[in-house]
Structure 1
Amino acid sequence: MPLMEAKKGLKMLKEAGMEKVNFSGGEPFITQNGRYLGELVRYCKEELHLPSVSIVSNGSLIREKWFRDYGEYLDILAISCDSFDEETNREIGRGQGNRNHVQKLLKIYEWCREYHVAFKINTVVNTKNVDEDMSENIMSLNPIRWKVFQCLLLEGENVGKDALRHAEKFYISDDQFQEFLDRHKHVPMLVSESNTKMQNSYLILDEYMRFLDCREGAKKPSPSLLDVGVANALDQSGFDEAMFRKRGGEYKWSKADMLLDW
């Protein structure tokens, strides 16, 4: 939506008690070469004074100039990395044409250190990487968190006749996911999220400022908070606050605190 409308919605959320916002996608850097995202990041930190502003990205569109312009306003940058083997990344769909996903990950890691942004890695465990041992690479990069997700299927999103993409072939069982976790249990920054923990423990807003209710295995939108207010939209979000706390959703999320340990 237009930048001013997006800022209005973010201000409403702040006034309702929001402390942390995370921009994801899709790929959030795709609009205006990251400038739209950068202006929202700046607004959230400089004007709303949020304790934590973070981004999840596949890394393909990130350039050093973005860090020079907006890095000071960002607490956490999480890069999606499902494998440290480039062929596996291509099979999953993380390939970047002729560019190497892992090499770009390493470059972004260096930029995060240079511009004082806390670095995080997100991994979705699926049929292509479930047998991989990522311990050595993760320990070498030493992210502030390594978020490990089980592949989640949502009707209309990545499964079903109206899906944007089809992820059935990537789905793994609970036992397979646990085997991956057991293989990496010695990695201290690992934070795991099974489908049970994940599905209803996030407050998700779409591009129209609608909360997405995932309780029935699909993303059912609420009315836009711009139209009905935060409280009324929140009532239709399906958010499970108890599960949010159980999965460790609350942690040291300001870089002033995190970078002391990184």
Structure 2
Amino acid sequence: MMNSEITVNFHLTKNCNFRCGFCFAHFKQSSHLEIEKTASIVREIKKSGFRKINFAGGEPLLYKNFESLLLVSKEIGLITSMISNGSRITKSWVNNNAPNLDILGISCDSAKPETLRQIGRGDGSSIDHTKKIFSWITDYNEKSGRRVFKKLNSVVSKFNWNENMSEYVASLNIDRWKVFQVLKIEGENDHKFSEFETDENEFNFFLKNHKELAKFGLKIVPENNSAMTNSYLMVNPDGCFYYNHNGKYLLSDPILDVGIETALKQIHFSKDKFKKREGFYII
């Protein structure tokens, strides 16, 4: 598999306005890189033959120069993607930024406000707001002739493993639904993990609850703990590659100090696992 088929996930900031108890992106750094350095990393990613970049966090829209970085990424020819909790996305944001965005993923784990509140994903209002965001994208696609690919991300935990979200998910009119088994990372979410942990049987029960959605053309992509581990190529807010080693994050040297090729040799990333979890797909 060539670099051109692999997605680089750039976690721009540790900051988030939600407090999801299962989150494993609570980076220890107290700051993030300025736009000049993040743009330089994005350019290095392009030069190394990668074609697709996904911006994440924390919440990427809390990175103050996100829109400028998105524009740079599109201008140099990258396929652009982002994963957001959606709270800062408005209709005007969609109209202003959709021209530079190829894939929009929104994270929402339940169709029940109380469940979202228990998880820590805001006050529960994201259920309705997520639906609005995808409708704005649909409107943009119809008016512009472009196609921003629509994706939902959901984490299966102790709070939602027996929920059936089928009616809600079907109403979103999305292209792809990624369903993750909650994952433990030492130093990130281990202090609360016992409150959220699910086993394989519970995870599979959630998937079985939603299998009928596939009949309506929705692509459901399940990822258990094994599938996720070392199948994501990730850059942290300090510009280092990082990976999951026995349930703990380890870092490469900074990309801008040693170069991408050297930094890549310092981490473990499985192209085979990336391919197996359907990380490469046509939009």
Q: Shared fold (TM-score greater than 0.5)?
A: yes
1:199–1:214 contact (8 Å) kept in structure 2: yes
- The answer on 1:214 being equivalent to 2:244 is yes
| Equivalent residue number for residue 29 of structure 1 | 61
CA distance in 2, matches of 1:207, 1:115: 31
Letter of the aligned partner of 2:249 in structure 1?
K
CA distance in 2, matches of 1:103, 1:167: 28
- The answer on 1:7 being equivalent to 2:39 is yes
Q: 1:111 aligns with which of 118, 136, 149?
A: 136
CA distance in 2, matches of 1:140, 1:115: 18
Describe the SS at the equivalent of 2:80: strand
CA distance in 2, matches of 1:205, 1:220: 11
Q: 1:130 aligns with which of 125, 150, 161?
A: 161
Letter of the aligned partner of 2:182 in structure 1?
C
| Equivalent residue number for residue 175 of structure 2 | 144
Q: How big is the shift at 1:68?
A: 2.5
Per-residue CA deviation, residues 105-147 of structure 1 (Å, 9 max, x unaligned), is 1111111112232221000000000010111221222311000
Q: How big is the shift at 1:215?
A: 2.5
| Equivalent residue number for residue 225 of structure 2 | 195
| Equivalent residue number for residue 86 of structure 2 | 59
Q: 2:264 aligns with which of 227, 230, 234?
A: 234
Describe the SS at the equivalent of 1:7: helix
Per-residue CA deviation, residues 156-179 of structure 1 (Å, 9 max, x unaligned), is 11115xxxxx33210100111111
CA distance in 1, matches of 2:69, 2:189: 28
1:43-192 matched pairs, under 5 angstroms = 43-46=72-75, 48-50=76-78, 52-96=79-123, 100-116=125-141, 117-160=148-191, 166-188=192-214, 189-192=219-222
Letter of the aligned partner of 1:139 in structure 2?
A
1:125–1:177 contact (8 Å) kept in structure 2: yes
Q: How big is the shift at 1:148?
A: 0.2
Letter of the aligned partner of 1:172 in structure 2?
T
CA distance in 1, matches of 2:233, 2:194: 24
Which runs of no fewer than 5 residues in structure 1 stay unpaired?
Answer: 161-165, 254-262
2:134–2:173 contact (8 Å) kept in structure 1: no
2:85–2:107 contact (8 Å) kept in structure 1: yes
Letter of the aligned partner of 1:217 in structure 2?
G
| Equivalent residue number for residue 16 of structure 1 | 48
CA distance in 2, matches of 1:110, 1:180: 26
Per-residue CA deviation, residues 44-95 of structure 1 (Å, 9 max, x unaligned), is 112x101x21110111111222222221010111111100011111011112
Between the aligned residues of both structures, percent identity stands at 39
Higher relative contact order (Cα pairs below 8 Å, separated by 6+ residues): 2
| Equivalent residue number for residue 234 of structure 2 | 204
CA distance in 1, matches of 2:241, 2:184: 18
2:135–2:172 contact (8 Å) kept in structure 1: no
Q: How big is the shift at 1:186?
A: 2.3
Q: How many equivalent pairs are there? A: 241
Which runs of no fewer than 5 residues in structure 2 stay unpaired?
Answer: 1-32, 142-147
Q: TM-score, normalised by structure 1?
A: 0.88
Q: TM-score, normalised by structure 2?
A: 0.82
